[in-house]
Amino acid sequence: MGKIDKAKTDGLGVKMTGSPETGLKVQMAHEGALCQIFGTSDEMLANALLSQCMKHLKTDEASDNHPGNDERAFMLTIINDLAPRDAVERMLAVQMAATHVATIRAGRRMAHSKTIPQIQAHYTGFNKLARTFAAQVEALRKHRTGGKQTVTVQHVNVSDGGQAIVGNVRQGGSEKHD
């Protein structure tokens, strides 16, 4: 892996070039850029996670030859934005990015379907992927909060002829309105 100018990496500090046929080349603007994205200090782990990200992409989704369809930077940007904190979050972030790309791919196939059976098949796949993504988001939330969920229940008694106000109520001086 070579070093590159940070300005050429779209803020990630990592630039990928090549294709599955020619080989993927990873250049980093600074040491540890890939580790930072995956939230680990282990370079071997960061490289393995990068490899897992790229394995599920189709050839035209991971190639310099198809820049409008290239999903490599998107995958890393999403994982970086999720900011994984531990092993579970790292694996889940990779899965979530992959599931999102697959969901969009299924939607594209559904949109270009010509027959009812094709539409139904792609709709089924799209629906399952969207549900899987929602489950992954919930799993990440539970993992990060320790499964704790806060619910506030308020009970209000209103006598006959009374009125209840639901919402935030402020007391104090009047506000000027133009």
C-beta separation of 136 from 156 below 8 A: no
C-beta separation of 38 from 32 below 8 A: no
Place of tokens 């133009």: 178
Provide the token pair at 31: 């040491």
C-beta separation of 19 from 28 below 8 A: no
Angle (CA) 79-81-86 rounded to 5° is: 60
Distance CA 53, CA 47 (A): 10
Rg, C-alpha atoms of the chain: 23
What tens digit of pLDDT does each residue of 119-135 get?
999 999 999 999 999 99
C-beta separation of 29 from 14 below 8 A: yes
Question: What's the pLDDT at 1?
Answer: 47
What tens digit of pLDDT does each residue of 60-77 get?
898 888 888 889 989 999
DSSP state of 146: T
- Average the pLDDT over 84-109 and give the result: 96
Between the two ends of the chain, the Cα-to-Cα distance in Å is 62
Distance CA 101, CA 95 (A): 10
Question: What's the pLDDT at 10?
Answer: 62
pTM, entire model = 0.75
